[in-house]
């Protein structure tokens, strides 16, 4: 297979499109991020890369807490809005109805089917970005998105972010079961 | 929206299903991982969580290099196989045709449309896992997966991993353009 090198090096596919929630100077703010992944199981943890100078970093530094909210595709416009406009200039505090979990400084979006409240464990200097690594203190799921007590991906209907093409997509057809189709 | 807390806390959706490539004691090995994301832009970097004791960690410690390979859905069986069986017991060195880029100890899979060769920058102790953060030295894309010189997600056809349901899926329909549908 003939190969070529590309300038766009950070080509992980697919990515999520999460809403990072913080409180900056007593005001709730949300920022869209796709550079987010799980960092460990015990303790449960996530990492999220935040560009230096971003308004949301102030909240992370101020409280040492943040939330990760998984939006459904029906919220794609709001997700895109939160990725375009900075909380420095736009008041995003009234955009969503929120609730609190264990932490009181990690605003959780009621309309998002999945909400993780996180406490900062590490902040790595990655040059252009801070890689914020947090313990997931609690994960909340909308009851309407459960099937037999388990989170149901088709009910959650998460946004799939595709870099380069810069498109939001839906989950596609199932092609196989994990820990199964590759058995000898 | 009525909420409940869930035991499965690491509920980032969706996730990729990448093949982590290393060389352990002169032998190529591949391990499937879904806890992988971008860590920064300049320098371009990725993070990947690897359970402690995993065979692949030996290669990362030995050479300080690794590869991240994005497989197409046609390779789902091989991806699942590399997630089930440890390189400690199974010889996975003959599973794929490989090539080298700049680094000579980061084996790249020819059949995978996207290959990132990485050099370790940080290794964070996350309890159950190591969070390995690496600079992406070079990214290779199969020429057949380009459209107008840019990586084309539909030609790449990446595997979408859905946790809890533990299913491999395809990319679904486009629901909107980023940096566009949320404009005021």
Give the distance from residue B128's alpha carbon to the nearest chain A alpha carbon, in angstroms.
5
Note the pLDDT of residue B1: 80
Q: How far apart are CA B54 and CA A166, in angstroms?
A: 34
Residues of A whose CB is below 8 A from B37: 12, 15, 35-37, 47, 49
Q: CA nearest B182 in A: which residue?
A: A81
Q: How far apart are CA B38 and CA A113, in angstroms?
A: 24
The per-residue pLDDT string of chain A (184 residues; one tens digit each, 9 = 90 and over) reads 899 999 999 999 999 999 999 999 999 999 999 999 999 999 999 999 999 999 999 999 999 999 999 999 999 999 999 999 999 999 999 999 999 999 999 999 999 999 999 999 999 999 999 999 999 999 999 999 999 999 999 999 999 999 999 999 999 999 999 999 999 9
Residue with tokens 């943040």: A66
Note the pLDDT of residue A1: 80
**pLDDT tens digits, one per residue of B67-94:** 999 999 999 999 999 999 999 999 999 9
> Count of CB contacts below 8 A, A vs B?
355
Note the pLDDT of residue A55: 97
Strands (E), B6-111: 15-16, 18-24, 27-33, 36-40, 45-51, 65-70, 98-99, 108-109
Could you tell me if residue B180 is inside a domain?
no
Could you tell me if residue B178 is inside a domain?
no
Candidates A39, A143, A164; nearest CB to B3: A143
Q: B37 with B10: CB under 8 angstroms?
A: no
ipTM over 0.95: yes
Give the distance from residue B108's alpha carbon to the nearest chain A alpha carbon, in angstroms.
11
Please give the span between the terminal C-alpha atoms of chain A, in angstroms, as a whole number. Answer: 27
Say which CATH number the domain at A152 has. Answer: 2.30.110.10
Q: Are the Cβ atoms of B9 and A116 closer than 8 angstroms?
A: yes
Give the distance from residue B111's alpha carbon to the nearest chain A alpha carbon, in angstroms.
7
Could you tell me if residue B143 is inside a domain?
yes
**Number of structural domains in chain B:** 1
Could you tell me if residue A183 is inside a domain?
no
Could you tell me if residue A2 is inside a domain?
no
* DSSP letter string, B117-154: EEEEEEEEE-SSEEEEEEEEEEEEEEGGGEETTEE-HH
Residue A154 phi/psi, 5-degree rounding, is -75, -30
Residues of A whose CB is below 8 A from B166: 177-179
Q: B27 in helix, strand or coil?
A: strand
* Average pLDDT estimate for B158-178: 98
| Structure token digits, residue B60 | 């990362």
**pLDDT tens digits, one per residue of B87-142:** 999 999 999 999 999 999 999 999 999 999 999 999 999 999 999 999 999 999 99
What range defines the domain where residue A98 resides? 15-169
Note the pLDDT of residue B164: 96
Could you tell me if residue A143 is inside a domain?
yes
pTM: 0.98
Beta bridge partners of A183: none
Could you tell me if residue B133 is inside a domain?
yes
* Average pLDDT estimate for B158-177: 98
Mutation pick from A42, A158, A171, A180 vs chain B, by most beta carbons of B within 10 Å, is A171
**pLDDT tens digits, one per residue of A127-138:** 999 999 999 999
Q: Are the Cβ atoms of A16 and B15 closer than 8 angstroms?
A: yes
* DSSP letter string, chain A: --EEE-S-----SSEE-EEEEEEETTEEEEEEES-EEEEETTTTEEEEEEETT-HHHHHHHHHSEEEEEEPBGGGHHHHHHHHHS-TTTS--TTSS-EE--S-SSS-EETTSSEEEEEEEEEEEE-SSEEEEEEEEEEEEEEGGGEETTEE-HHHH-B-EEETTTTEEEEEEEEEEETTTTT--
Candidates A129, A138, A169; nearest CB to B5: A138
Give the distance from residue B103's alpha carbon to the nearest chain A alpha carbon, in angstroms.
14
Q: Which residues of A109-129 are buried (b: 16+ CB within 10 A; e: fewer)?
A: bbbbbbbbbbbebbbbebeeb
Residues of A whose CB is below 8 A from B162: 153, 171
Could you tell me if residue B182 is inside a domain?
no
Closest CA relative to residue B156, chosen from B117, B114, B116: B114
Q: How far apart are CA B116 and CA B128, in angstroms?
A: 25
């Amino acid at each position: 297979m003939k190969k070529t090198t590309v300038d766009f090096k950070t080509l992980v596919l697919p990515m999520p499109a999460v809403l990072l929630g913080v409180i900056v100077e007593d005001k709730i703010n949300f920022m869209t991020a796709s550079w987010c992944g799980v960092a460990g199981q015990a303790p449960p943890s996530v990492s999220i890369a935040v560009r230096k100078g971003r308004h949301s970093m102030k909240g992370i530094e101020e409280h040492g807490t943040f939330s990760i909210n998984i939006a459904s595709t029906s919220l794609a416009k709001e997700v895109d809005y939160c990725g375009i406009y900075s909380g420095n200039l736009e008041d995003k505090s009234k955009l969503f109805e929120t609730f609190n979990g264990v932490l009181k400084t990690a605003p959780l979006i009621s309309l998002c089917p999945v909400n993780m409240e996180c406490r900062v464990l590490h902040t790595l200097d990655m040059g252009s970005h801070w890689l914020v690594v947090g313990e997931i203190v609690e994960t909340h799921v909308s009851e309407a998105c459960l099937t037999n007590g388990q989170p149901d991906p088709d009910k959650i209907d998460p946004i799939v972010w595709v870099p380069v093409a810069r498109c939001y997509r839906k989950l596609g057809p199932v092609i196989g079961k994990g820990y199964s189709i590759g058995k000898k």
